[in-house]
């Protein structure tokens, strides 16, 4: 439950952060000039205006927008989750104190974090940043594995590159033409006089402080007192909500007469072209013929044409000389001009105060004095694409390819999961099939324990136990030589196989104290353990000696339980594979038919009689390796058919887990084989 809530919290935070950063990046990129002006405002407020020329501000603004967008995009899709969360946190740790400082000192009124799309006060921005900071902390602390991935790692680069290119195109489009979405109050279709009016239901109420006979009292207009009262003071209060006008500083002063033409222009029901140039010094003059042709068109058709600029008279004169401009000029506030159109110069067509059209200098309307009148042409008609429609268009252009790629990725991902599951299931079945083909064996190695009577008692007890409950595997007991003949009489005709713990490396003759393979066989035993680590260590049995013993055992019709295994130092040095491979050399000369009579027993020496068991995974790993060696030296078939037992502190409590591994076919049991209940417990692990 707690985990689920944490998962929800992480993903909620991550989507909040993603939405804020994507929106912030896109709204900035849509209007690089807007960000340029904002950065210049900041630079000026901090006395660093000289460090922020136009080009630097544009590049910095676009980079900032790109980084914000990328971070938001990565957070949204769950791309580079860890690094993204960390960078976001660093970002927020930098910007939150900065916005607190801005809120306290108010050097610029609007922070500009969402361009012109959403204007926030500095305190609102600070509040927003606190929320984002908390979200990024959640993402860093708990989000490493909990952020839901929306696209696979192998294909994330496609959408990342696509989206970055798309968003950059947005920026370059805006620089070359105009912002794709116009959030400013001069957008096409905007009614400028309406945008110049304050909104809300605010009322201005004035009250007056009056005095009579030394007594002062406040009066409203409705109860204003008679002339026996004298006026002292007054105050005006705003009652209700006042929404300030979107356009608060639009005036057009005729450059030659100084006359304010604003009302006249805005009220004109005819067409007016406004050529807008915040500064003529920096304006593009490469398209001057187009500006002049449009002016000629206006002259021929009796439309108004004004050039609005905040440049001084000498700049105007220079422009006139340079471009041959004959049109009249008006002085207008610089910031307002920059807001009107993001191009220098840009062109606005007004009719009745409504913006009918808007063009950057790179895309001036192709008209001259012979062109049809605006009343009869498309140019003069208002085509309100509308901000919403435009935004939707943009959104769809961006989102549809993204959705398609993401959808295909998810389908692919889903399919590969199903295929993998099926493959895994198939593999397990295959493994199990292989395993069921092989003999499952539990063999006991009594070592040098139990006298004859004890051995007979144990064998008898085991025989009875297994007669009562048939085992699900082959059972073998390997006893000292002295037990063999007697125990053979007990095990004969039962499920229990009998084996010796050793045999001589000589066929027969004067080898005092030795017991040959033939002699073992003659007792009724069917198996012999060879290569046990205790014999290798204490009796110096080498690969060559064991080779002889294996040959003799097989030649005498005994099945060999061949032991291999590394000592602790070899395991710690990671040499276990090397060691067992070398020990197996005693078998490499055998034919496949001979190998069919060999059972392998992997017994890590550090686990024998120590109580320290190899983990089931360790056992599986090396058993798989051993099987691989057999496959390499004999054949796949031989490898699949040979049983490989595990030995070393195997008990009823751990046998089941070890035997469950696909390459473990049973156990060679030491200590636990000396008690019937324990040995039976291990045999039962196969049930």
> Locate tokens 């979107």: which residue?
246
Tell which one of 648, 655, 676, 678 touches ligand 13P (CB under 6 A): 648
Task: Please state, in angstroms and rounded to a whole number, the distance separating the CA atoms of residues 239 and 42.
Answer: 34
Length of the chain: 687
Alpha carbon 454 to chain centroid distance?
67
Q: Does 650 help bind ligand 13P (rule: CB under 6 A)?
A: yes
Closest CA to 291 of 301, 281, 302, 277: 277
What is the closest distance, in whole angstroms, from the C-beta atom of residue 650 to ligand 13P in the complex? 5
From the number of C-beta atoms within 10 Å of its C-beta (0-12, 13-18, 19+), residue 311 rates as buried
Binding window for ligand 13P (CB under 6 A); candidates: 233-241, 303-311, 352-360, 665-673: 665-673
> Locate tokens 């991550």: which residue?
14
- Residues numbered 513 to 542 that lie near ligand 13P (CB under 6 A) are 532
What is the closest distance, in whole angstroms, from the C-beta atom of residue 414 to ligand 13P in the complex? 48
Tell which one of 34, 365, 455, 671 touches ligand 13P (CB under 6 A): 671
> Locate tokens 């012109």: which residue?
116
Over 625-652, what HEC string results? HHHHHHHHHCCHHHHHHCCEEECCCCCH
Q: Are 353 and 274 in contact (CB under 8 A)?
A: no
474 or 603: CB nearest ligand 13P: 603
- Residues numbered 586 to 645 that lie near ligand 13P (CB under 6 A) are 603, 608-609
* The two structure tokens encoding residue 451: 């006298």
Q: Could you give the string, one character per residue 441-480, with x where binding to ligand 13P holds by CB under 6 A and - elsewhere?
A: ----x-----------------------------------
Q: Does 669 help bind ligand 13P (rule: CB under 6 A)?
A: yes
* Secondary element (H or E) of residue 84: helix 81-105
484 or 668: CB nearest ligand 13P: 668
* The two structure tokens encoding residue 220: 């409203």
61 or 648: CB nearest ligand 13P: 648
Q: Are 641 and 437 in contact (CB under 8 A)?
A: yes
455 or 648: CB nearest ligand 13P: 648
Out of 483, 532, 534, 623, the active site residue is 532
Size of the site for ligand 13P (CB under 6 A): 14
355 or 579: CB nearest ligand 13P: 579
Distance of CA 634 to CAs 43, 514, 631, Å? 80, 32, 5
> Locate tokens 């026996």: which residue?
228
Binding window for ligand 13P (CB under 6 A); candidates: 49-57, 169-177, 432-440, 663-671: 663-671
Q: Does 27 help bind ligand 13P (rule: CB under 6 A)?
A: no
What is the closest distance, in whole angstroms, from the C-beta atom of residue 148 to ligand 13P in the complex? 49
Binding window for ligand 13P (CB under 6 A); candidates: 36-44, 431-439, 543-551, 646-654: 646-654
Tell which one of 341, 668, 676, 683 touches ligand 13P (CB under 6 A): 668
Closest CA to 479 of 505, 525, 446: 446
Known active-site residue 187: no
Tell which one of 277, 586, 620, 649 touches ligand 13P (CB under 6 A): 649
Binding window for ligand 13P (CB under 6 A); candidates: 316-324, 332-340, 434-442, 664-672: 664-672
- For 382-424, give the DSSP string: -----HHHHHHHHHHHHHHHHHHHHHHHHHHHHHHHHHHHHHH
* The two structure tokens encoding residue 322: 């340079």
> For residue 128, is the peptide bond before it cis, meaning its omega torsion is within 30 degrees of 0?
no
Known active-site residue 589: no
What is the closest distance, in whole angstroms, from the C-beta atom of residue 478 to ligand 13P in the complex? 8
Q: Are 634 and 592 in contact (CB under 8 A)?
A: yes
Q: Does 62 help bind ligand 13P (rule: CB under 6 A)?
A: no
What is the closest distance, in whole angstroms, from the C-beta atom of residue 538 to ligand 13P in the complex? 13
Q: Are 147 and 11 in contact (CB under 8 A)?
A: yes
Q: Does 666 help bind ligand 13P (rule: CB under 6 A)?
A: no
Binding window for ligand 13P (CB under 6 A); candidates: 193-201, 371-379, 400-408, 669-677: 669-677
Catalytically active residues, by annotation: 532, 603
The residues that touch ligand 13P, with contacts defined as CB under 6 A, are 445, 532, 603, 608-609, 647-650, 668-672
């Amino acid at each position: 439950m707690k985990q689920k809530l944490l998962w929800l919290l992480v993903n909620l935070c991550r989507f909040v952060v993603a939405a804020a950063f994507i929106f912030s990046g896109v709204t900035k990129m849509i209007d690089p000039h807007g960000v340029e002006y904002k950065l210049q405002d900041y630079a000026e407020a901090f006395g660093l205006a000289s460090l922020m020329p136009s080009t630097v501000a544009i590049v910095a603004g676009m980079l900032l927008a790109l980084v914000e967008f990328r971070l938001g995009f990565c957070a949204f899709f769950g791309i580079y989750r860890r690094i993204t969360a960390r960078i976001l946190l660093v970002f927020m740790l930098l910007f939150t104190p900065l916005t607190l400082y801005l809120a306290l000192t108010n050097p610029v009124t609007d922070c500009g974090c969402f361009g012109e799309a959403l204007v926030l006060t500095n305190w609102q921005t600070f509040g927003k940043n606190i929320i984002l900071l908390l979200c990024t902390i959640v993402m860093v602390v708990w989000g490493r594995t909990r952020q839901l991935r929306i696209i696979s790692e192998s294909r994330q680069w496609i959408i990342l590159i696509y989206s970055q290119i798309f968003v950059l195109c947005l920026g370059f489009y805006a620089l070359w033409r105009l912002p794709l979405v116009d959030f400013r109050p001069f957008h096409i279709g905007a009614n400028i006089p309406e945008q110049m009016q304050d909104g809300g239901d605010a009322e201005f109420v004035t009250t007056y402080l009056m005095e009579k006979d030394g007594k002062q009292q406040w009066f409203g207009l409705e109860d204003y007192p008679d002339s026996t009262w004298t006026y002292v003071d007054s105050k005006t209060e705003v009652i209700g909500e006042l929404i300030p006008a979107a356009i608060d500083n639009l005036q057009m002063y005729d450059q030659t007469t100084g006359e304010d033409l604003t009302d006249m222009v805005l009220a004109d029901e005819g067409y007016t072209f406004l050529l807008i140039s915040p500064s003529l010094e920096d304006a593009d003059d490469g398209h001057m013929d187009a500006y002049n042709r449009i002016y000629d068109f206006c002259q021929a058709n009796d439309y108004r044409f004004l050039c609005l600029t905040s440049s001084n008279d000498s700049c105007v004169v220079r422009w006139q000389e340079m471009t041959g401009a004959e049109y009249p000029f008006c002085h207008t506030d610089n910031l307002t001009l920059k807001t009107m159109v993001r191009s220098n110069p840009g062109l606005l067509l007004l009719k009745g105060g409504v913006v009918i059209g808007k063009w950057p200098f790179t895309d001036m309307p192709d008209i001259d004095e012979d062109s049809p009148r605006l009343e009869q042409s498309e140019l003069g008609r208002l085509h309100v694409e509308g901000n919403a429609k435009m935004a939707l268009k943009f959104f769809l252009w961006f989102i549809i390819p993204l959705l398609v790629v993401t959808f295909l990725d998810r389908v692919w991902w889903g399919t590969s999961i199903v295929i993998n599951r099926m493959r895994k299931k198939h593999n397990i079945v295959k493994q199990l099939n292989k395993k069921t083909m092989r003999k499952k064996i539990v063999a006991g190695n009594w070592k040098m324990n139990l006298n004859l009577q004890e051995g007979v008692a144990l064998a008898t007890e085991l025989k009875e136990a297994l007669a009562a409950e048939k085992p699900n595997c082959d059972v073998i007991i390997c006893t000292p030589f002295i037990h063999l003949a007697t125990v053979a009489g007990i095990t004969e005709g039962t499920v229990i196989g009998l084996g010796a713990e050793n045999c001589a490396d000589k066929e027969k003759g004067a080898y005092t104290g030795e017991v040959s393979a033939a002699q073992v066989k003659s007792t009724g035993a069917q198996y012999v353990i060879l290569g046990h680590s205790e014999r290798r260590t204490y009796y110096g049995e080498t690969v060559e000696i064991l080779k002889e013993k294996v040959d003799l055992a097989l030649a005498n019709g005994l099945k060999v339980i061949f032991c291999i295994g590394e000592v602790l130092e070899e395991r710690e040095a990671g040499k276990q594979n090397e060691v067992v491979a070398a020990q197996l050399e005693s078998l490499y000369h055998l034919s496949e038919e001979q190998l069919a009579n060999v059972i392998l027993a992997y017994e890590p020496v550090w686990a024998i009689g120590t109580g320290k068991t190899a983990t089931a995974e360790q056992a599986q790993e090396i058993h798989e390796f051993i099987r691989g060696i057999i496959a390499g030296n004999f054949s796949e078939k031989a490898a699949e058919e040979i049983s490989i037992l595990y030995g070393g502190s195997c008990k009823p409590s751990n046998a089941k887990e070890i035997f469950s591994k696909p390459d473990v076919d049973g156990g060679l049991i030491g200590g636990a084989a000396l008690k019937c209940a324990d040995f039976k417990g291990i045999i039962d692990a196969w049930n």
